[in-house]
Amino acid sequence: MKKRVVIIGGGVIGCSIAWRLAREGAAVTVLERGRLGREASWASAGMIAPQAEAQAAGPFFQLCLRARDTFEAALEMLRADTDVDPEYDRAGILYLALNDQERSELQQAGQWQTNAGGTVEELSVPAALKLEPAISPQAVYALHLPLERRVENRRLTLAYASAAIGKGAVLVEGVAAKQVLVHQNTIGVTANDGRTFDADVVINAAGAWSNGIQGISDPFECYPVRGQIVCFDARPGQLRASLFSPRGYLVPRRDGRILAGSTMEEAGFDKTVTLSGLTKITRAAFEMAPQLSDLPFREAWAGLRPATRDFLPVLGSSPSLPSLFYAIGHFRSGILLSAITGEIVTDLIQARTPTIDLGPFSPTRFIEPPKTSVLAFIRDILFRSRVDAAAQSSGKEVAYASDLEQGLRRCGELQPATILIDLSDAAFPAGEAAAKIRTAVPNARLIGFASHVDLKAMDAARKAGFELTLSRNEFTSRLGELLTL
Ligand SMILES: Cc1cc2nc3c(=O)[nH]c(=O)nc-3n(C[C@H](O)[C@H](O)[C@H](O)COP(=O)(O)OP(=O)(O)OC[C@H]3O[C@@H](n4cnc5c(N)ncnc54)[C@H](O)[C@@H]3O)c2cc1C
């Protein structure tokens, strides 16, 4: 039987996955609350630029280099499956330094990128000017990144969508996923129009909005980072290479438009174009290519990049719901990563091992290992500091309670594995404390201590079922061991 897959979100990521899965015979439905590809995937500049965008060597850089090759290969397949031309151009990127500090940063970037498998050509300023006469005469240094590419991202999303439809996928516009539902062995999505879409697998590809779907309780967030773009009219071919610098970038389109970008702003879900955004972008454009200063302004827009806490994508199945998959958090590189994401997610859903290590991009990376929690019913501040010192050297955390009631509340919140009780303190009568604590945390280990002459308290604790009762001295000397039990 065909695998039924519901994809939430019809951006470049959702549409790429839909195409790859439909190609392999899955019954795919994409739910898009607005129009296909009209959010971040529409606002993008469309650079296929693993090197220009890179911050450091590491698994993400390697993923992006692989993504560039996968993208090229996917376009071949896409051409066979749709007539929509995504206007892929192999023109490369010219990365400019306009002062000495930028030059030294760029030289370092060129070095590490070459060592990490990137392709970099150092250019003298005359050589750079020959490659692209529009660049600023203030340029002091340039790197040519000849393998960087660009694509008309709006057409790319439509190409994926049209190819997916050609392979039998159903793409529904104007329908928002409200909730992911699980009943026994099946999973489904309820929509704002009252319909339920049953599936074997659900994929969350809702970009910056992916946390807004109910019924999902995984411990990470994807949030919007606004990027503004200013668009100018030029003659087709007036700018040949895309230009990049630490200040911004200029990306030409085949029809002559030149896109200048961008900003990185945390402004919630607000897609407003602002005076400060326009100022920053136009100043950067002017500094990189003053020869273009007469270009007429055409339009400006903003979009919301989907970001995670570590700015890496989240690719893989949900830690809490194995039939739910994530393909979110592509941040500044979702166009570049679209084809490889389609390939990876399809591999995972078809139970094939992906060809890259997904560890750094796994949804499980956000799950914090549980801390050993110890709750101490101790009021003596000096004694608390002794416990804290021992806890610190054992790498543990201890919470304290100053009375029985507060302690019981903290038992409920923390569910501690170990509870330490100062039995010499009348605030913590052994019998009553044990009975109440057992109700709140039935499996906690109760360890009581008292002065060696306080035999009554020790005896009461033993009768109340404490796992361990110790004299104060013995307790102090064994603290390290007791905290790591
Ligand atoms: C200014 C700017 C420039 C950029 N430049 C580049 C670049 O040069 N190169 C590059 O690789 N990347 C670039 N990016 C990043 C890239 O655009 C994004 O990473 C990529 O578009 C993310 O795709 P997506 O499908 O995850 O998100 P989106 O395109 O935002 O798609 C998510 C979709 O989910 C839908 N949705 C949300 N909630 C629901 C719901 N409950 N039910 C149904 N549908 C829902 C939304 O309507 C939306 O259509 C740029 C981004 C911006 C903003």
Q: What is the CATH number of the domain that holds 430?
A: 3.40.50.2300
Distance 43 CA to ligand 1 centre (A): 8
For residue 344, what pLDDT is reported?
98
pLDDT surpassing 70 at residue 372: no
**pLDDT, tens digit (0-9, with 9 covering 90-100), for 2-35:** 899 999 999 999 999 999 999 999 999 999 999 9
Strongest mean pLDDT among 348-352, 382-386, 411-415: 348-352
- Decide which of 317, 345, 368 is a domain's last residue: 368
Q: Are 458 and 365 in contact (CB under 8 A)?
A: no
Q: Which of 319, 325, 311, 320 is nearest to 354 (CA)?
A: 325
Confidence of residue 217 (pLDDT cuts 50, 70, 90): confident
Q: Are 178 and 213 in contact (CB under 8 A)?
A: yes
Same domain, 106 and 189: no
Percent of the chain past pLDDT 90, that is, above it, reads: 85
pLDDT surpassing 70 at residue 370: no
Distance 230 CA to ligand 1 centre (A): 18
Percent of the chain past pLDDT 70, that is, above it, reads: 99
Place of tokens 């971040």: 40
What residue ranges line ligand 1, CB within 6 angstroms? 8-14, 31-34, 38-41, 43-47, 176-177, 205-209, 212-213, 227, 229, 261-262, 303, 305-306, 330-336
Q: How far apart are CA 431 and CA 178, in angstroms?
A: 50
Confidence of residue 183 (pLDDT cuts 50, 70, 90): confident
- State the average pLDDT over residues 373-387: 89
Sheet of strand 196-199: strand arrangement: 177-183, 186-191, 196-199
Q: How far apart are CA 40 and CA 207, in angstroms?
A: 8
Counting from 1 in the atom list of ligand 1, the atom nearest the Cα of 331 is 19
Counting from 1 in the atom list of ligand 1, the atom nearest the Cα of 210 is 38
Ligand 1, atom 19, lies closest to the CA of: 334
Which amino acid appears at position 300 of this protein?
A
Distance 269 CA to ligand 1 centre (A): 13
Q: How far apart are CA 291 and CA 302, in angstroms?
A: 25
Q: How far apart are CA 200 and CA 452, in angstroms?
A: 64
Place of tokens 């940063």: 105
For residue 220, what pLDDT is reported?
84
- Per residue, the 3-state secondary structure of 224-264, as one string, reads EEEEEEEEECCCCCCCCCEEEECCEEEEECCCCCEEEECCC
Q: Report the SS3 class of residue 483.
A: helix
Rounded to 5 degrees, what angle do the CA atoms 407, 409, 411 make? 70
Q: DSSP code of 450?
A: E
**pLDDT, tens digit (0-9, with 9 covering 90-100), for 235-288:** 999 999 999 999 999 999 999 999 999 999 999 999 999 999 999 999 999 999
Confidence of residue 390 (pLDDT cuts 50, 70, 90): confident
Place of tokens 């090759």: 69
Same domain, 381 and 342: no
Q: Are 399 and 414 in contact (CB under 8 A)?
A: yes
Same domain, 253 and 104: yes
| Count of structural domains, the chain | 3
pLDDT surpassing 90 at residue 443: no
Q: How far apart are CA 369 and CA 358, in angstroms?
A: 19
Same domain, 401 and 467: yes
Same domain, 138 and 235: yes
For residue 413, what pLDDT is reported?
80
Q: Which of 161, 129, 184, 226 is nearest to 30 (CA)?
A: 161
Distance 408 CA to ligand 1 centre (A): 47
Same domain, 415 and 478: yes
Q: What is the CATH number of the domain that holds 27?
A: 3.50.50.60
For residue 358, what pLDDT is reported?
96
- State the average pLDDT over residues 217-245: 94
For residue 371, what pLDDT is reported?
65
**pLDDT, tens digit (0-9, with 9 covering 90-100), for 306-364:** 999 999 999 999 988 999 999 999 999 999 999 999 999 999 999 999 999 999 999 99
- Here the tokens at position 192 are 């704002």
Contacts of 10 (CB under 8 A, 6+ apart): 18, 30, 31, 32, 35, 36, 37, 157, 161, 171, 173
Q: What is the pTM of this model?
A: 0.82
Same domain, 391 and 449: yes
Confidence of residue 369 (pLDDT cuts 50, 70, 90): low
**Measured distance between the N- and C-terminal CA atoms of the chain, rounded to whole angstroms:** 51
Q: DSSP code of 209?
A: G
Pairwise pLDDT comparison (370 vs 461), residue with the higher score: 461
Q: How far apart are CA 372 and CA 369, in angstroms?
A: 9
* Residues 473, 478, 483, 485, CA torsion sign: negative
Contacts of 210 (CB under 8 A, 6+ apart): 8, 9, 204, 222, 306, 326, 328
pLDDT surpassing 80 at residue 296: yes
- Cα dist. 16→65, 159, 205, 337 in Å? 18, 9, 10, 10
**pLDDT, tens digit (0-9, with 9 covering 90-100), for 166-178:** 999 999 999 999 9
Q: How far apart are CA 243 and CA 248, in angstroms?
A: 8
Rounded to 5 degrees, what angle do the CA atoms 25, 28, 32 make? 155
What is the domain range of residue 351? 1-87+151-221+309-368
Ligand 1, atom 31, lies closest to the CA of: 11
Same domain, 444 and 314: no
Same domain, 25 and 156: yes
Distance 154 CA to ligand 1 centre (A): 11
For residue 367, what pLDDT is reported?
83
- State the average pLDDT over residues 226-230: 98
- Per residue, the 3-state secondary structure of 327-361, as one string, reads EECCCCCCCCCHHHHHHHHHHHHCCCCCCCCCHHH
Same domain, 80 and 3: yes
Distance 212 CA to ligand 1 centre (A): 15
- Decide which of 286, 307, 328 is a domain's last residue: 307
Mean pLDDT of the chain: 94
Q: DSSP code of 76?
A: H
- Decide which of 272, 292, 307 is a domain's last residue: 307
Q: What is the CATH number of the domain that holds 286?
A: 3.30.9.10
Same domain, 451 and 478: yes
Q: Report the SS3 class of residue 82.
A: coil
Same domain, 188 and 268: no
Q: Are strands 324-328 and 201-204 parallel, antiparallel or unpaired?
A: parallel
For residue 278, what pLDDT is reported?
98
